[in-house]
Amino acid sequence: MRAFLERLLRLDRRWIFLFVLLSVAIPIVIPLGLPVTTTESTRKAFEFIEAMKPGDTVLISFDYGPSSAPENDPMAEAVMRQCAIRKLRFIVIALYPLGGLNLASNAVAKVVAEYPDLKYGVDYVNLGYKDGASAVMRRMGDDIAGAFPTDEAGTPLAQIPMMKGIASLRQVQLVFTVATGIIGEWWITQVHPQVGTPIIIGPTAVSAPKYYAFLNSGQLEGMLGGMKGAAEYEKLMRAAHPEMERFYGSTRDFTATKGMDGQTVMHTVVLLFILLGNLAFFLTQKRAVR
């Protein structure tokens, strides 16, 4: 027993890496379908969008890059699908320099392919990327065309039917920022107090804890925290809109719900290693003292 415990303490950490790798990979190949429970912050976000009137405008800001795409992509896609179902118009922008625009364009192309009735310039528009997020938000509060004179393809905003009547963020009913880093926070601390537009955030798990303070103070209408928040949103979408099953019931495509299987198994493995490591440490130390 003692030899086993000492061997455990000397275990090459690469074995732990291998276990972690397997614990994440196996649920991708064999989905476990573990249950996902919803939290209040995600429910509030979902219900806010569900309560919006057809024709209302949602600004979806891609404030993240490929480094956090597995967490943020499912959130952005879920909200865009909800906009399509609820007949809400959506404006897509990207304020994150490294890949935000590509992710925005890819997500728009994916969702538009799923809903062929959506018309560019009428139901949705992609304004592209703009550098200097904070200054861009400031300008959009007064004049969207001042910050984005053209859409991503170079068409002046005045020639886009959907943008008629939307001069500033004051004519936008919701900003949904899918964010990594500080840009998401600026929507809450800068745009919300100055313009008053309601904000919902979909941050990475790393950033999520700090946004609970904004949620509690009423500065946020809701939050989808990391992959867990995205999985909760997918569950709410499936419950409210049975046709969503074609996206979220698939075992072939990546969804946040599927990703949570890997999260659960991996966390269990890590907890077991922590328990075993501590047990081995304290037992061998005790014997050494004796």
Residues that bind another protein (CB under 8 A): 14, 17, 20-21, 24-25, 28-29, 67-71, 97-99, 101, 128-132, 134-135, 138, 149-150, 152, 154, 186, 188-190, 192-194, 204-206, 208-209, 213-214, 216-219, 225-228, 252-254, 259, 262-263, 266-267, 270
Cβ distance to another protein smaller for residue 155 or 284: 155
Residue closer to another protein, measured from CB, 128 or 222: 128
Beta-carbon neighbour count of residue 133 at 10 Å? Answer: 24
Q: Are 225 and 205 in contact (CB under 8 A)?
A: yes
Least Å from the CB of residue 16 to another protein: 10
CB of 73 to another protein, least distance (A): 8
Closer to another protein at the Cβ: 22 or 122?
Answer: 22
- In the complex, the smallest distance separating the C-beta of residue 12 from another protein, rounded to whole angstroms, is 10
Report d(CA 194, CA 206) in Å as an integer: 27
DSSP characters for 220-283?
A: -SEE--HHHHHHHHHHHHHHH-GGGHHHHS-SSS--HHHHHHHHHHHHHHHHHHHHHHHHHHHH
Helix, strand, coil percentages (3-state) for the chain, rounded to 5, are 60, 10, 30
Q: How far is the CB of 56 from another protein (least distance, A)?
A: 24
H or E element, residue 60 = strand 57-63
Instruction: Output DSSP code: residue 160.
Output: -
* Residue 98 φ/ψ, nearest 5 degrees: -90, 80
Residue 136 CA to residue 154 CA, distance in Å, equals: 18
CB nearer to another protein: pick between 173 and 190:
190
The nearer residue to another protein, 88 or 91, going by C-beta atoms, is 91
Distance in Å, CB of 217 to another protein, minimum: 4
